Amino acid sequence: MASSTDRNAAKRVAIVGAGTSGLAACKHLLARGFRPVVFEAGASVGGLWTRTLASTRLQSPHVAYRFSDFPWPEGVDWFPSHDQVVDYLAAYARRFGVDECVRFRSRVVAAEHVGEDDDAADGEMWAGNGEAFGIDGAGVWRLTVLHGDSDATQMYEFDFLILCIGRFSGVPNIPAFPPNGGPDAFRGQVLHSMDLSDMDDADAAALVKDKRVAVVGSGKSAYDIAAECAEANGVEHPCTMVCRSPQWIVHDTEVWGKVNLGYLFVNRFAELMIRKPEAGIVSSLLATLLTPLAWLISKVTEAYYKKAIPMREYGMEPEYGFAGSISACKTGMLPDGLAFYDRVKDGSIVFRRSRSFSFCEDGLVLDGADDHQRVVVPADLVILATGFRGDQKLRDMFVSPRVKEIVAGSSDTTVPLYRECVHPRIPQMAVIGYSDSLTNIYTSEMMAKWVARFLDGAFRLPSVRRMEQIVAEWGRYMKRSSGDRFRRSCLGAVNIWYNDQLCRDMGCKQRRKKGLVAEWFQPYGPADYADIQ
Ligand SMILES: Cc1cc2nc3c(=O)[nH]c(=O)nc-3n(C[C@H](O)[C@H](O)[C@H](O)COP(=O)(O)OP(=O)(O)OC[C@H]3O[C@@H](n4cnc5c(N)ncnc54)[C@H](O)[C@@H]3O)c2cc1C
């Protein structure tokens, strides 16, 4: 009889993408005896970290942004630079033999599930029996891959497909514009932040030098770009940041210099204050009773940041609370900490609030600004830091119109994935890295562990109907907790609870700290799950 290692080695598993998610997926599959093939469009591992702005750093401290069993080298910066992140990811790939599985410069241009009939796809159990590889004779995934620079494609067949293609790269989100108000109306140049990240550092610096730059967006990338432009051009050519809705972009993680944010928002006690999906009535009742405490913690945190950062003075005070920003994964770190606001004070960076914008010949036209007047921001270069269309990127992978239609949900739902990994109606496939959290590598690796054990036969999925109910419940939670900031799935405020569900499925213990006080009050992080291999 074949051992489980032989059985797993014989299964054909494809991973698409060698960013943090793909690396984790490959490592954990190797650990369980699989021999996956990783197709990576780029020439090296690391995903988006290989293509960032010169100044991009991790926003999460390195202790929180790490693989569970692979600490950072001694002496690394508290917030590592993008080069340090790439080195760390490459070292991980080498250490666990992941790099030997990767086929670089190999872009998957189409994925098609063949062999299943429509009844199987709409059956009661996923893939017929709720197992990774389905009932005997279940379908295969046929991948069309473009290697190197050639136009010729090759076909491959796999028993299981894991998509790790990245939510925050590849397909830019470009806002819709009124007729004659799009980029064509502008005589200057328009780029997406992604284009700037893809450029060589020297070329990017030369591009912004001596230009009037307008950056649209209020997330971390917009702040990074504005800081780089201010550094290059100073007050002579101020950089205008056009923001619709300011976010909590803060300077440090120690509230009032004393308490780390982790103790306030990333421990079990903090999660007691939240009405969680799949939690019972007692848990929901307790959360309701603790609402005043949750409110107080959020207010104390907000008060600290409002005192330390002159956001009010410049009209950049967020309209929602800090806790809401954790729930919606909208919190970020200021480039250079409070020094960023020195650039605002000296006039190198100018904030403009606007609900919408369009282009005119000379620059941007802001609409619905604070004073409700139409304002023109003159510019030579406009950079759209307006995010990504991860949903579209996912749809673009597939040949089948049915899969294209269902895979990413609709514009007002999350990508409908059970345990944020498996679509209830798409068999033999998992997606990793499509849910945000306070540190994404932590979540992606937990998903990778869950997917690897699932493929190893450690557990079965519940019925399709039950999975859909659970997906809907998590979706409702995310919409409720993010309010009108809802854009995508975010586990920021319920990460431990989410990990509990994964651990329960995998048959691993959920409580992972030593002692009651630590269990309830210490922040949870990747290292707490290091023993789950
Ligand atoms: C500027 C920026 C800063 C960030 N900073 C932080 C941070 O500080 N902390 C944090 O937690 N998160 C941060 N994030 C979120 C970040 O997305 C995740 O931390 C993580 O790096 C995502 O990894 P990934 O592997 O899921 O995706 P990616 O890194 O995007 O990797 C996807 C990989 O798939 C490949 N690929 C895609 N499509 C195909 C295809 N069809 N065929 C073959 N290969 C393909 C791509 O080439 C790429 O290598 C940041 C994101 C951005 C954009």
Which residue is closest in CA terms to ligand 1's atom 17? 168
Return the best residue to mutate from 440, 441, 445, 446 for the ligand 1 pocket (most ligand atoms within 8 A of CB).
Answer: 440
* pLDDT in the model for residue 361: 96
- What b/e string do you get for 270-304 counting C-beta neighbours within 10 Å, with b at 16 or more? bbbbbbbbebeeebeeebeebeeebeebbeebbeb
Name the residue among 440, 521, 436 with its Cα closest to residue 66.
440
Pocket of ligand 1 (CB under 6 A): 16-22, 39-42, 47-49, 52, 56, 58-60, 65, 107-108, 164-166, 168-170, 221, 433, 439-441, 444
393-439 pLDDT, tens digit each: 999 999 999 999 999 988 777 899 999 999 999 999 999 999 989 89
Tell me, in angstroms, the distance from the centre of ligand 1 to residue 18's CA: 9
Tell me, in angstroms, the distance from the centre of ligand 1 to residue 125's CA: 32
Radius of gyration of the chain (CA): 23
- What token pair was written down for 18? 């060698």
Return the best residue to mutate from 165, 167, 334, 393 for the ligand 1 pocket (most ligand atoms within 8 A of CB).
Answer: 165
* Ligand 1 atom at shortest distance from the alpha carbon of 438: 11
Return the best residue to mutate from 45, 78, 169 for the ligand 1 pocket (most ligand atoms within 8 A of CB).
Answer: 169
Residue 205 in contact with residue 189, Cβ under 8 Å? no
Longest Cα separation, the chain: 77
344-381 pLDDT, tens digit each: 999 999 999 998 999 999 999 998 655 566 789 999 99
Which residue is closest in CA terms to ligand 1's atom 19? 440
Tell me, in angstroms, the distance from the centre of ligand 1 to residue 165's CA: 7
Which residue is closest in CA terms to ligand 1's atom 51? 168
9-25 pLDDT, tens digit each: 999 999 999 999 999 99
Tell me, in angstroms, the distance from the centre of ligand 1 to residue 169's CA: 6
Which residue is closest in CA terms to ligand 1's atom 25? 19
- What b/e string do you get for 444-471 counting C-beta neighbours within 10 Å, with b at 16 or more? bbbbbbbbbbbbbeebebbebeebbebb
* pLDDT in the model for residue 484: 72
Tally DSSP H helices, then E strands, for the chain: 19, 20
Strand pairing report for 37-39 and 102-103: parallel
| Cα dist from 165 to 17, 19, 340, 356, 502, whole Å | 5, 8, 32, 30, 22
Residue 354 in contact with residue 366, Cβ under 8 Å? yes
Q: What φ, ψ does residue 491 adopt, rounded to 5°?
A: -100, 10
Which residue is closest in CA terms to ligand 1's atom 2? 221
Distance CA 31, CA 20 (A): 17
* Ligand 1 atom at shortest distance from the alpha carbon of 85: 21
Residue 140 in contact with residue 13, Cβ under 8 Å? no
* Ligand 1 atom at shortest distance from the alpha carbon of 59: 8
H or E element at residue 192: strand 189-192
- Specify the residue for token string 């004393």: 258
Tell me, in angstroms, the distance from the centre of ligand 1 to residue 166's CA: 4
Tell me, in angstroms, the distance from the centre of ligand 1 to residue 197's CA: 13
* Ligand 1 atom at shortest distance from the alpha carbon of 19: 25
> DSSP secondary-structure letter at 172?
B
Tell me, in angstroms, the distance from the centre of ligand 1 to residue 19's CA: 6
Task: Quote the strand ranges of 257-387, DSSP E.
Answer: 259-260, 332-333, 349-353, 356-360, 363-367, 375-378, 381-384
Tell me, in angstroms, the distance from the centre of ligand 1 to residue 47's CA: 5
* Ligand 1 atom at shortest distance from the alpha carbon of 48: 29
Single-letter residue type at 298: S
Which residue is closest in CA terms to ligand 1's atom 13? 440
Q: What average pLDDT does the segment 453-470 reach? A: 97
First to last CA, the chain: 25
482-513 pLDDT, tens digit each: 777 667 789 999 999 999 999 999 999 999 99
Name the residue among 337, 318, 194, 331 with its Cα closest to residue 264.
331
Q: What average pLDDT does the segment 378-385 reach? A: 97
Q: How confident is the model at residue 122 (pLDDT cuts 50, 70, 90)?
A: low
Q: What average pLDDT does the segment 315-319 reach? A: 94
Single-letter residue type at 411: S
| Cα dist from 248 to 328, 331, 347, 464, 475, whole Å | 11, 5, 21, 38, 23
Tell me, in angstroms, the distance from the centre of ligand 1 to residue 393's CA: 12
What is the pLDDT of the chain when averaged over all its residues? 94
Q: What average pLDDT does the segment 103-115 reach? A: 96
Tell me, in angstroms, the distance from the centre of ligand 1 to residue 170's CA: 9
Tell me how many degrees the CA angle 281-263-70 measures, rounded to the nearest 5: 105
- Count of residues in the chain: 533
Return the best residue to mutate from 23, 38, 168, 431 for the ligand 1 pocket (most ligand atoms within 8 A of CB).
Answer: 168
Return the best residue to mutate from 48, 56, 147, 384 for the ligand 1 pocket (most ligand atoms within 8 A of CB).
Answer: 48
Name the residue among 334, 401, 399, 475 with its Cα closest to residue 113.
399
Q: Give 474-478 contacts, CB < 8 A, sequence gap 24+.
A: 474/277, 474/278, 474/414, 474/420, 475/409, 475/413, 475/414, 475/416, 476/277, 477/275, 477/276, 477/277, 478/414
Name the residue among 94, 63, 98 with its Cα closest to residue 79.
63
* pLDDT in the model for residue 116: 60
Tell me how many degrees the CA angle 391-392-396 measures, rounded to the nearest 5: 125
Tell me, in angstroms, the distance from the centre of ligand 1 to residue 386's CA: 16
* pLDDT in the model for residue 215: 98
325-341 pLDDT, tens digit each: 999 999 999 998 999 99
Is pLDDT above 90 for 382? Answer: yes
Q: How confident is the model at residue 150 (pLDDT cuts 50, 70, 90)?
A: confident
Tell me, in angstroms, the distance from the centre of ligand 1 to residue 39's CA: 15
Strand pairing report for 349-353 and 239-243: parallel
